[in-house]
């Protein structure tokens, strides 16, 4: 085979294997992917701990890296496990709805509704609780976001911007140069006051398309005490279930 083809194949070659290390008394499984890369990297993927390494890295080198970063690995895996547990929604699961803990129950009729700490979800054919919950979030998110946008747009003295829903996990909102606002339906997990902060923040971008002190002054005018809301949003973000 000509050399160039070899080089090309090497570039795209990947070797997968599995391993296990012991960190602070815990068995930690990992998936190792060797490829044409220069250094060893660690990340938490959907299946758990994933290690990327060059072909010439030894298993000892890989495991030394895991031990050096033991604290990080255990912390991230614990968080991943929490999120995985939380993402498995079943009858009776607890979930945060507009900042309030509630239990999931299957609705007897074809209507989903929230009342007295219970979220009754209508499960269409083949639909599980997670899918039904996401659909419910989306259906309730739009009217709520529109109402809050209208409220803050009036306070700011701007026209009502177009709204789009997104599924972003940490970028709760965005405002495009055209003045379109995107808000994540995942905000429906959070207390209304935090949703208001995101709405006020994005609307403030209609006046200041940056995060300058002038921008934050607009936010302060619309939503006094925004800093506490921003911190709380960051804290809660880590507790969200990984729903798709
Ligand atoms: Zn911003």
Q: Are the beta carbons of 207 and 201 closer than 8 angstroms? A: no
For residue 83, how far is its CA from the centre of ligand 1 (angstroms)?
A: 26
What is the 191 CA–ligand 1 centroid distance (Å)?
Answer: 19
Of 86, 106, 137, the residue at which a domain comes to its end is: 86
Residues 77 and 102 in one domain: no
The CA angle 39-43-44, to the nearest 5 degrees, is 160
Can you give the pLDDT at residue 217? Answer: 97
**Least confident segment among 51-60, 72-81, 178-187, 189-198:** 72-81
Domain boundary among 30, 57, 86: 86
Q: Model confidence at 2, in pLDDT bands (50, 70, 90)?
A: very low
194 in a structural domain: yes
Q: Please give the tally of structural domains in the chain.
A: 2
Interacting residues of 83 by C-beta distance below 8 A, sequence separation 6+? 240, 241, 242
Residues 66-113 have pLDDT tens digits of: 999 999 999 999 888 877 766 688 899 899 999 999 999 999 889 999
Q: How far is the CA of 41 from the centre of ligand 1 (A)?
A: 31
Q: Are strands 41-45 and 118-121 parallel, antiparallel or unpaired?
A: unpaired
Residues 56 and 114 in one domain: no
Same structural domain for residues 156 and 70?
A: no
pTM, 2 dp: 0.67
Residues 77 and 111 in one domain: no
Read off the pLDDT of residues 30-75 as tens digits, 9 standing for 90 and up.
999 999 899 999 998 878 899 999 999 999 999 999 999 999 999 9
Among 24, 51, 86, identify where a domain stops. Answer: 86
Q: How far is the CA of 225 from the centre of ligand 1 (A)?
A: 16
Q: In this predicted model, what pLDDT tens digit does every residue of 136-172 receive, in sequence order? A: 999 999 999 999 999 999 999 999 999 999 998 878 9
Residues 128 and 186 in one domain: yes
**Claim to verify: residue 119 and residue 205 sit in the same structural domain:** yes
Structural domain span for residue 43: 3-86
* C-alpha 208 to ligand 1 mean position (Å): 9
Q: How far is the CA of 202 from the centre of ligand 1 (A)?
A: 6
Q: State whether 10 and 103 are in the same domain.
A: no
Residue 100 CA to ligand 1 center (angstroms) comes to 26
Between the CA of 130 and the centroid of ligand 1 the distance, in Å, is: 30
Residue 243 lies in a domain: no
Q: 175 lies in a domain?
A: yes
Gap from CA of 211 to ligand 1 centroid (Å): 6
Q: Do 193 and 131 fall within a single domain?
A: yes
Residues 108 and 209 in one domain: yes
**What percent of the chain clears pLDDT 90, i.e. is strictly above it?**
70
Residue 244 lies in a domain: no
More confident residue, 3 or 115: 115
Residue 105 lies in a domain: yes
Distance 174 CA to ligand 1 centre (A): 7
Q: What is the 3-state secondary structure (H, E, C) of 174-185?
A: EECCCCCEEEEH
Whether residue 117 is found in the same domain as residue 78: no
Helices (H), the chain: 3-12, 59-68, 70-87, 129-156, 192-204, 213-222, 226-237
CATH of the domain at 184: 3.30.2010.10
Mean pLDDT, range 15-26, rounded to an integer = 90
Do 70 and 133 lie in one domain? The reply is no
Whether residues 111 and 205 fall in one domain = yes
Quote the tokens at residue 188. Answer: 């429906």
Confidence (pLDDT) at 237: 83
User: Cα separation of 208 and 77, whole Å?
Assistant: 39
* 235 Cα to the center of ligand 1, angstroms: 18
Q: Ligand 1 centroid to 133 CA: how many Å?
A: 28
pLDDT in tens, 106-145: 998 899 999 889 999 999 888 889 899 999 999 999 999 9
CA of 217 to the centre of ligand 1 (A): 13
Assess if residue 29 is contained within a domain: yes
Q: Could you tell me the distance, in angstroms and rounded to a whole number, from the CA of residue 207 to the centre of ligand 1? A: 11
């Amino acid at each position: 085979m000509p050399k160039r083809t070899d080089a090309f194949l090497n570039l795209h070659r990947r070797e997968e294997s599995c391993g296990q290390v012991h960190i602070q008394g815990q068995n930690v499984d990992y998936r190792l992917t060797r490829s044409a890369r220069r250094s060893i990297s660690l990340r938490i993927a959907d299946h758990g701990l994933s290690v990327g390494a060059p072909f010439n890295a030894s298993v000892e080198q890989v495991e030394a890296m895991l031990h050096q970063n033991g604290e990080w690995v255990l912390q991230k895996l614990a968080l991943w496990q929490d999120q995985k547990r939380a993402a498995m929604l079943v009858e009776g699961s607890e979930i945060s709805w507009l900042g309030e803990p509630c239990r999931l129950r299957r609705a007897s009729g074809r209507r989903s509704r929230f009342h007295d700490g219970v979220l009754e979800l209508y499960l269409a054919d083949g639909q599980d609780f997670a899918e039904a919950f996401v659909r419910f979030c989306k259906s309730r998110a739009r009217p709520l976001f529109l109402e809050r946008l209208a409220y803050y747009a009036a306070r700011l003295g701007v026209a009502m911007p177009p709204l789009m829903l997104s599924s972003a996990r940490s970028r709760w909102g965005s405002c495009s140069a055209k003045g379109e606002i995107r808000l994540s339906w995942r905000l429906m997990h959070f207390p209304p006051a935090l949703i208001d902060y995101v709405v006020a923040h994005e609307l403030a971008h209609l006046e200041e398309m940056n995060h300058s002190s002038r921008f934050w002054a607009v936010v302060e005018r619309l939503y006094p005490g925004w800093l506490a809301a921003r911190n709380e949003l960051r804290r809660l973000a880590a507790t969200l279930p990984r729903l798709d």
